[in-house]
Amino acid sequence: MGDFNDILEVEEKEGGIERTEDLIRLRLDRVLANASWCFQFSKDVCYHLPMTGADHCPLLIDTEANIEKGRRRFVFDKRWVGKEDCEEVVRNAWAKDVQGSQWFKVSEKIKNVRMALIQWCKGHNFNSLVKIEDIQSKLKIAYEGSSFYREGVMLL
């Protein structure tokens, strides 16, 4: 973190014609870190504080920044279509009574279906990453075991 007194891009300049009496502002205050530091302090945030009296902005590194993640986008997984109770979950969520204008009702019903499917998924093992890790663990055990069973590995 420091005063580099240099700019990286022409776009960083603000204002001014090529006369010396015109104001030209440059971003001189930067934080510089290597990959190791970025990995170790990946959640830290740098704030440029307001300029007060000097020609530089103080930099504040927040090591306890709480960056809120936005809500994950809901995507209907086509693998759910063949599952026995998926249709019932959708029907029940859509059938809930909602008051309001037609568009509000549709919006709320879609939200109800989304929330019901999210809850339904938590009760089933649809997480591909979990399945992959489970199969990799079983493969490792099968390959490292004393009696290698080729057909068993192929079934995984």
Residue range 68-124, pLDDT digits in tens: 666 778 888 888 888 889 999 999 999 999 999 999 999 999 999 999 998 998 877
**Number of domains composing the chain:** 2
* Inside any domain, residue 40: yes
In a domain, 72, yes or no: no
| Together in a domain, 24 and 5 | yes
Residue written as tokens 């902005």?
57
- Cut 0.85: pTM above it: no
Same domain assignment for residues 21 and 54: yes
Domain co-membership, 54 together with 3 = yes
Q: Express the helix, strand and coil content of the chain in percent, nearest 5 each.
A: 40, 10, 50
For 60, the enclosing helix (H) or strand (E) is strand 59-62
Domain limits for position 39: 1-67
